[in-house]
Every structure is written in C-alpha cells, then in structure tokens.
Amino acid sequence: MDRERVIACVGLGEAEVAHLRLLLRSCASELAAPWRIGGEDGADLLVVDVRDFAGEMAQARARCSGVRYAVFSDVPLPEAELVLQRPLQRANVIDLLNRISSGLAQRLGRAGPVDDVRMQDLGIGMAEPRAAPADATVAPALDDLLRLQREADSQSLAALHIKPEAPPKVWASREVMLEQTAPRPLREYLSGPLLRGPVRFALEGAMPLVLDPKHRLAYIVGGLQAAEPYVRARWRLCDWVQLRSSELAQAREAGVALPYAHLGWLDVLLHAGGHLARHLDPKATYRLTEPAHAEPGYGWVYRIASVMLQPLRLHEIAAASGAKMSDVFDVVNAYDAIGLIESRLSSPVASESSGRSWFKRRR
C-alpha cells in the first residue's frame, strides 16, 4: 500500500481547508494514494493562496526548496505548474492528486522536447508506455524514485562524512514586515497604493467595512455614521481580508455605497478638534460650491452647511445657523478637504486653498 501523503494549506480560509479535508475523505477510494491535511514541514504538496501574504511567502519558500506546490485560484494561471481550482471541485481534486501520486505532473506551457537525461530516465517528456499486463510488476512512481535517489545520496554523503546543505530559507524583508504590520489610519488606505483589490475589515462591535480601490467606493451597512469607528481607529495592512468578485457583489447589495471623498470628509470632521485649519483665513468669507446633503445623524452639519450657499464670514455662519464657532470650524474644514469650499478675502482674489483636496495637501 502506498505511503500516506501530506497536503499543507497556506493562505486558505478555515472553511476552504475544511472543505478540502472533507473531499479527501469522501473520494479516498478514487485516489491512487492516501492523502491527509498536515503541516508545512515535510509536506508532499503545498496548496497556497498567493492573494494572502502567508501564501505568497510559502510559494517563495517552496520554489527555493524544491517542494511541489499548487496555486489555489479561481482564474486560469498559465504560468503555474499545478493549479487547484477555487471553488473546490471533486473531479479537479482527484485529478490533481492522482497526477502527483503517479508522477505525471508536468509543467504547463513548457514547449519542446525534454533534453535532461535524468528526466528522460524517469519517463517525463517521452511517450506513455503501453499498459502492463495484469500480473506484471508495477513500476515505481516518480515520488518513490526521487525518494530512493535522496536516500542513496544521503548514504553516499554519510560515507564521505559530508553534511548535506540545507535549502536556503526565504525570509520577508524588514520593509515588507513593517508595511504589513504597521498600524495605519483609514486615510492612508484611501489615498495610497496599499490596497490592490477589494478588501474587508471588521472592528469589534462595528459593521464590516469593505473598500473597492478600483472604483474608489466603500460599502458598509448603516452608512456614513456606521463608518465613524473606522475613521477613529488604526489597524494593520495584514488585517484586511481579500474579497472575491462574488463577495464584493454581496457587499454592494447589503451595504450603503460611500465615495472615498465622503470618508475623507468624515475624517476631517472628526479630527478637526474645533479649530480652523491653518491654511484657511479667519477673516475670509466662505461659500459651499454645491448644496449639502442631509446625512442621517449629521443634522447639525446640515444646519451649518445650508446657510453657506452664499459667501459669509465665519461668525456670520455661526449666527445664521445657531451653531458654536468650533462646530463651524469643523464643518468648514471638512468641506474644504473635499474641494467644495470657495473662500475669499475682502479682495476678489480667491484663497490659495480654494478647491484643493485635503488628500493632496497631506501628501
């Protein structure tokens, strides 16, 4: 009976690993050799999700150490030698594992004959032999041949008192580790190139926040007010969870769509601290370039913004809206951050800050 082989999963979710374990049990009778889920050390096959940082690093280690790996993906990967389809399918799992067990897994996309004599000795790149008679001795599989070769090499080295060199380990650079683990405010994820695809993050006690960098939209159940905890918090880049297209579609249906500019507006509103921004002149007049929308939970903001459709000085805005000067400062700062404030001094020359984005000024 063939020895039991081990699959290590790196970067996959718990539900996906559990699904694969179930498939291994249910299709055990159809597999050429027994397989089980295990740890990365000594594994016969790594299944890596390269969208996850841990999976990407495991792929790099496997390449350096020569461990066979399959990329877990929902899209075709012509450059990958082995691909395990997402979502998991019984037929694909059986086919992949049996190819590996029988030693017939070949690199996809490689053209031309195999010139390496050692590979020809193993039968790779040559025509498949005819089926042996039922009573003929079955030839050993590729994995068994390689294992026997490694054992022979180890015995030869031991006889010569030579210690075999361990394969080099690949470690993440300090810059990569800092980028992944440094706590950051929401504004950095909105304005920088840190996120390469749709992601989700959930603070304890808050509704999950989904960001779609391609369309510069956020989705959250409860709208802008539900996003306040995320504007006040800081978290790591590695805390984000990458989303598939189907998961992003679900977030669009369930949550309220918020343009990135709305979150930038909220960030300034909550962090202004009741002080007018330094680049704004307290003696200038201020006017909103377009009417404000009444956001649920921000009625006090709407009362201030509704009187700013004509140029007014700061104290005139406070008097007309019945608001405190500190609240007026916060609202003016917030709308200026997204370029919706026109400010003028007594002369007709507009303030230098008019129309400039808060994100650009922060860079």
Q: Going by C-beta distance under 8 Å and a sequence separation of 6 or more, which residues neighbour residue 230? A: 186, 201, 203, 206, 209
User: What tokens appear for 61 in the block?
Assistant: 């280690």
Q: What pLDDT was estimated at residue 288?
A: 95
What confidence tens digit (pLDDT) does each residue in 172-190 have?
A: 556 666 667 789 999 999 9
Supply the pLDDT for residue 248: 93
CA–CA separation, 177 and 237 (whole Å): 10
pLDDT per residue over 125-173, tens digit each? 444 444 444 444 444 455 665 666 666 666 655 555 555 566 665 555 5
67 or 360: which carries more pLDDT confidence? 67
- Nearest-angstrom CA–CA distance, 15 and 12: 8
DSSP state of 140: P
Q: What span, in angstroms and rounded, lies between the C-alpha atoms of 36 and 32?
A: 13
User: CA-CA distance, 104 to 142, in Å (whole number)?
Assistant: 8
Residue 351 has pLDDT above 60, yes or no: no
What is the structure's pLDDT at 199?
95
What pLDDT sits at residue 56? 83
Mean pLDDT of 312-330: 96
Residues 268-273 have a mean pLDDT of 94
What proportion of the chain, given as a percentage, has pLDDT over 70?
73
In sequence order, what E strands does 100-254 have? 184-185, 199-201, 209-212, 217-220, 234-235, 241-242
Q: How far apart are CA 269 and CA 301, in angstroms?
A: 9
H or E element at residue 236: none
Span 108-136, pLDDT tens digits:
333 334 344 334 444 444 444 444 444 44
Write down all domains in the chain, each with its CATH number in brackets: 5-158 (3.40.50.2300), 182-263 (no CATH), 272-362 (1.10.10.10)
In this prediction, residue 279 carries a pLDDT of 93
By the 8 A CB rule, do 26 and 65 touch? no
CA atoms within 13 A on the CB side of 190: 23
Model confidence band, residue 209 (pLDDT cutoffs 50, 70, 90): very high
Q: In this prediction, what percent of the chain has a pLDDT beyond 90?
A: 42
State residue 324's pLDDT score: 95
Contacts of 272 (CB under 8 A, 6+ apart): 329, 330, 333, 334
